[in-house]
Amino acid sequence: MNYRVSGGKTLSGSVQTNISKNAAVALLAASLLNRGETVLKRMPRIQEVNRLIEVMESIGVKIIWEESGDIRITPPEKFDLSKINQESAGRTRSIALFIAPLAHVLGSFDLPAPTGCDLGKRSLGAHIDALAKLGIEISGNEDTHTYHVEVRERKAATIVMYEASDTGVENVLMAAAKIPGTTTIKFASANYMVQDLCFFLERCGVQIEGIGTSTLTVHGTEYIDEFIEGHPSEDPIESMFFIALAATTKSEITIERCPMDFLELELYTLGQMGLRYDIGERYTSHNGKTILADVTIHPSELVAAPEKIAPRPYPGINIDNLPFFVPVATQATGKTLIHDWVYDGRAKHYMLMEKLGAKMELLDPHRVLVEGPTKLCAADVEAPPALRPATLLLIGMLAAEGESMLRNVYPINRGYANLAERLTRLGASIEAVE
């Protein structure tokens, strides 16, 4: 699928933040811990979720996706990995989240090596090191296209994560959840998807202390066998997409149901760049935990950020929100330094904005200097094989006058549902074409 975009239009109206991709896939994996039926509420209809469902069905899981968006999940008596959907598993890095849940029911098994966004070298070192301390050993690598898992004697432990990996901590949480005893995870990610997983595990009867901090204490339980409802919360990265879109196109847009704890520093930084916005009254998501608010962005004259913009573990600027500062910076007077220190290969994708007329310089594999304001122009561009860099190109095309074509938008469809239709309701001219 491609997007044909007629840009340069001022947008207006309101848009609702959808359920988080990263929380949704974590809860899908965690549903495998439960021997009873699990219902995940209001799940996003995105390709990343589709791929994991295809894998789950191929190993015997019964799944019903209701019109309401709820997904009903019934585990098999015995998981059968002999017919695992290799193609679907190979198209999503989220397959790595199946390691811990399956380790509780299979003594030895293989999983296809995960892939996903092209962001440079991304090893599972944080998973391998931490899970080994719990008795779950992983061998193989992405070069062999397979990860082999051997389960030794599972035991609770104190773990220091040498990397604050979101998926690494999620795997450790799911491993510790069904190991009786107390497991302590230090230097844990406290990101939104990790918190959502903790809330779900609590519904499963697992006691967890320290949610939202870098130290988690998990009191494991041997069995989980009951009816469980899970409520993944709204996606702060999607909220940020629309915030950046409004700022770049100088439009007034209200973004509803924004997870505020995971956007406050981003909004503060944009405020330092001259962006004017209002935050409405706060309320809770359906999980009863996540704090939401409606944010209205006003047309603003932007200036370069006074300091470099770089991500940090929560509560810093989210690594997935960092790319959205690129299109905003093209419309800000001065030079903005964006430092993507986490990924070895993502900053190179930012440079595709040059095809739209952006003035940018790649200082090294991690740092990009953006000069503005720049009048963006239409272009025909192949979407990079990375979700967030692909979406920043779409923002640029919506701001650029003339007709652009963004080709092969599967990376965007991995994380965003009905995006073209939602943008059209804001006044954008965008069409999905073959």
Q: What would the pLDDT profile of 393-422 be if each residue is shown by its tens digit? A: 999 999 999 999 999 999 999 999 999 999
168/271 same-domain check:
no
Residue 343 has pLDDT above 90, yes or no: no
**Tokens 């779900």 belong to which residue?**
200
The fraction of the chain above a pLDDT of 70, given in percent, is: 97
Average pLDDT over residues 126-150: 86
46/177 same-domain check:
yes
Alpha-carbon span 113 to 67, nearest angstrom: 32
- Tell me which of 204 and 128 has the higher pLDDT: 204
211/294 same-domain check:
no
3-state secondary structure the chain: CEEEEEECCCCEEEEECCECHHHHHHHHHHHHHCCCCEEECCCCCCHHHHHHHHHHHHCCCEEEECCCCCEEEECCCCCCHHHCCHHHHHCCHHHHHHHHHHHCCCCEEEEECCCCCCCCCCCCHHHHHHHHHCCEEEEEECCCCEEEEEECCCCCCEEECCCCCHHHHHHHHHHHHCCCEEEEEECCCCCHHHHHHHHHHHHCCCEEECCCCCEEEEEECCCCCCCEEECCCECHHHHHHHHHHHHHHCCEEEEEEEEHHHCHHHHHHHHHCCCEEEECCCEECCCCCCEEEEEEEECCCEECCCCCECCCCCCCCCCCCHHHHHHHHCCEEEEEEEECCCCCCCHHHHHHHHHHCCEEEEEECCEEEEEECCCCECCEEECCCCHHHHHHHHHHHHHCEEEEEEECCHHHHCCCCCHHHHHHHCCCEEEEEC
Count the domains in the chain: 2
Global confidence as pTM: 0.95
198/238 same-domain check:
no
> Are the C-beta atoms of 253 and 426 separated by less than 8 Å?
yes
Alpha-carbon span 58 to 54, nearest angstrom: 6
Per-residue burial over 265-285, b = 16 or more CB atoms within 10 Å of its CB, e = otherwise: bbbebbeebebebeeeeeeeb
Domain containing 349 equals: 2-18+234-433
3-state secondary structure 97-143: HHHHHHHCCCCEEEEECCCCCCCCCCCCHHHHHHHHHCCEEEEEECC
> Are the C-beta atoms of 159 and 184 separated by less than 8 Å?
yes
97/147 same-domain check:
yes
Which two tokens mark 189?
């990610």
Q: What is the pLDDT of residues 97-123, one digit of tens each?
A: 999 999 999 989 999 876 544 444 446
Radius of gyration for the alpha carbons in the chain, expressed in angstroms and rounded: 21
249/352 same-domain check:
yes
Average pLDDT over residues 161-181: 95
Residue 93 has pLDDT above 50, yes or no: yes
- The whole-number pLDDT of residue 141 equals 62
177/257 same-domain check:
no
225/256 same-domain check:
no
209/336 same-domain check:
no
Average pLDDT over residues 258-282: 98
- The whole-number pLDDT of residue 147 equals 86
Average pLDDT over residues 247-263: 98
- The whole-number pLDDT of residue 124 equals 80
- The whole-number pLDDT of residue 115 equals 57
343/427 same-domain check:
yes
Residue 54 has pLDDT above 90, yes or no: yes
Residue 217: HSE in the Cβ half-sphere, 13 Å Cα cutoff: 4
282/394 same-domain check:
yes
Last residue of a domain, one of 230, 250, 278: 230
Lowest mean pLDDT among 17-26, 139-148, 156-165: 139-148
- The whole-number pLDDT of residue 408 equals 95
**CATH assignment at residue 359:** 3.65.10.10
Last residue of a domain, one of 230, 255, 280: 230
Alpha-carbon span 409 to 386, nearest angstrom: 10
> Are the C-beta atoms of 154 and 176 separated by less than 8 Å?
no
> Are the C-beta atoms of 274 and 32 separated by less than 8 Å?
no
Strand 380-382 to strand 402-407: parallel, antiparallel, or no bridges (unpaired)?
parallel
Q: How confident is the model at residue 192 (pLDDT cuts 50, 70, 90)?
A: very high
Average pLDDT over residues 320-325: 97
Q: What is the mean pLDDT of the chain?
A: 94
- The whole-number pLDDT of residue 397 equals 98
Last residue of a domain, one of 190, 206, 230: 230
> Are the C-beta atoms of 278 and 296 separated by less than 8 Å?
yes
> Are the C-beta atoms of 205 and 221 separated by less than 8 Å?
yes
DSSP symbol at 383: P
Residue 128 has pLDDT above 70, yes or no: yes
- The whole-number pLDDT of residue 364 equals 95
57/101 same-domain check:
yes
Q: How confident is the model at residue 272 (pLDDT cuts 50, 70, 90)?
A: very high
